[in-house]
Amino acid sequence: MTGASSEVHARIAEEISALSDTLVGLSLDLHANPELALEEEYAARRLSTLLADNGFEVTNELGGLKTAFRGTAGEGTPTIAFLCEYDALPGIGHGCGHNLIAAGGLGAALALRRAAPELPGTIACIGTPGEEGAGGKVLLLEADAFEGIDAALMFHPGDRTMPIRHATASRKIVLEFDGVATHAAATPQEGRSALAAVLQFFTGVDSLRQFIPETSRMHGIITHGGEAANVIPAYTRAEFMVRALTSDVLNDLTERVEAVARAAASATGTSVRITRGVVYAERKNNHVIAERVAEHLRGQGVAVEQPILRGGTGSSDIGNVSLVLPAIHPYLQVMDTGTPTHSIAMAEAVATPRAQAAMLAMATALACTGADLLADPGLFAAARQEFATSGPDLPQ
């Protein structure tokens, strides 16, 4: 294996071991104190303080986001960034395992810096808030917060370990229907039901499903359906997500879904306000870097599966980053195969000793891969060449 020396890899493993109590403690602390997207003040403070205490120069409120940060150590190029996510899900807590992502990413940055300060280049640890719907990485890209980053490394917990996986492009849409309230029994003819409008919208979307690609997804919830059963609702609100293999297909599907909303409003004599969220782009995995992470995991006895590029997947704003610079988002098994993500079962799993041990192994693999990229210009050039000549990973 080219890259950093085996001695550097051994020192990184020793540093992760020395940091293990700190990293596991951080993971469990974040798990016990879940915070929603862009509200992760406690998590951001915990992470940035640990970076500062270990000699990293820290910039808080990165890109104008109050819970984003960037810590750097070293100097020169290339700059290798380890990304941390730390927001939780409403009503579920850390049912996506971002507590592990945060601890593992931070651990990789600390261990690499402590084990190999002699390596050329810069180590960065970037706190990217609001992955769960707010598009923190998209906002940071728009604010040029990734300027000067040459490669971005992170991971995601799951029910199997895989170096890569495709992801769909997605967009959140908020729909607000306005009607006319009146007494539902005495004067219904004077009302215009915003509830009827939102129900017609959901029915229309269900009719649309037959005529979209099988790889696309449309799903949502009604967040406000009215005030009382005997009052025709004047206001309803729904949150919807639209997903497709690519951003181009997503944009077309978004227009069709919004047309259904306008038709529902027209049919019920109401009006609709549509607010589009940021686009989470499809993912362009860097196979050169991802396979190096897989090799370091295998070296620790972790079983790595070959990726399956088919079937439904989720979406993440790492996709937007991956279209701008070489990036990876491997998956790490922290729970039994078949355990659903975004679930209470996963929230429980990511606090177990099994999950913490897996996180430490991934932190070691990420740090060793970072060392390889800093030590071996040829490996880094190969990663850059792949980025320049390849496209997103799509189902076969």
Region 341-353: mean pLDDT is 97
Asked whether 163 and 293 are in contact (CB, 8 A), the reply is: yes
How many angstroms from the chain centroid is the CA of residue 160? Answer: 17
Q: State how far the Cα of 306 lies from the Cα of 163, in Å rounded to an integer.
A: 8
Residue 76 tokens, joined: 């020169």
Note the pLDDT of residue 308: 75
Q: How confident is the model at residue 313 (pLDDT cuts 50, 70, 90)?
A: confident
Region 127-145: mean pLDDT is 97
Note the pLDDT of residue 312: 63
Mean pLDDT (the chain, rounded): 96
Share of the chain above pLDDT 90, in %: 94
* Residue 340 DSSP code: P
**pTM to 2 decimal places:** 0.93
Q: List Cα–Cα distances, 81 to 4, 124, 154, 235, 376, in angstroms.
A: 17, 4, 9, 45, 16
Residue 393 tokens, joined: 């990973």
Residue 60 has pLDDT above 70, yes or no: yes
* Residue 8 DSSP code: H
Sign of CA dihedral 173, 177, 178, 183: negative
Region 359-385: mean pLDDT is 97
Q: How confident is the model at residue 311 (pLDDT cuts 50, 70, 90)?
A: low
Residue 95 has pLDDT above 70, yes or no: yes
Sign of CA dihedral 184, 188, 190, 191: positive
Region 87-93: mean pLDDT is 96
Q: Choose between 312 and 344: higher pLDDT.
A: 344
Q: Taking each helix axis as running N to C, give the angle between helix 353-375 and helix 98-115, from 0 to 180 degrees, rounded to the nearest 10.
A: 40
In the CATH hierarchy, which fold is given to the domain comprising 6-167+282-389? Aminopeptidase (3.40.630)
Note the pLDDT of residue 396: 64
In the CATH hierarchy, which fold is given to the domain comprising 169-280? Alpha-Beta Plaits (3.30.70)
List, for residues 238-289, the tens digit of each pLDDT value. 999 999 999 999 999 999 999 999 999 999 999 999 999 999 999 999 999 9
Note the pLDDT of residue 329: 97
List, for residues 139-181, the tens digit of each pLDDT value. 999 999 999 999 999 999 999 999 999 999 999 999 999 999 9
Q: State how far the Cα of 18 lies from the Cα of 14, in Å rounded to an integer.
A: 6
List, for residues 201-248, the tens digit of each pLDDT value. 999 999 999 999 988 999 999 999 999 999 999 999 999 999 999 999
Note the pLDDT of residue 306: 85
For the chain, what's the residue count?
396
Asked whether 175 and 240 are in contact (CB, 8 A), the reply is: yes
* Residue 13 DSSP code: H
Rounded (10°) CA dihedral 256, 258, 262, 267:
60
> What three-state secondary structure class fits 245?
coil
Could you tell me where in the chain the CATH 3.30.70.360 domains are found? 169-280
Residue 188 has pLDDT above 80, yes or no: yes
Q: How confident is the model at residue 1 (pLDDT cuts 50, 70, 90)?
A: confident
Note the pLDDT of residue 2: 84
Could you tell me where in the chain the CATH 3.40.630.10 domains are found? 6-167+282-389
Q: Which residue has the tokens 């409120």?
A: 61
Note the pLDDT of residue 309: 74
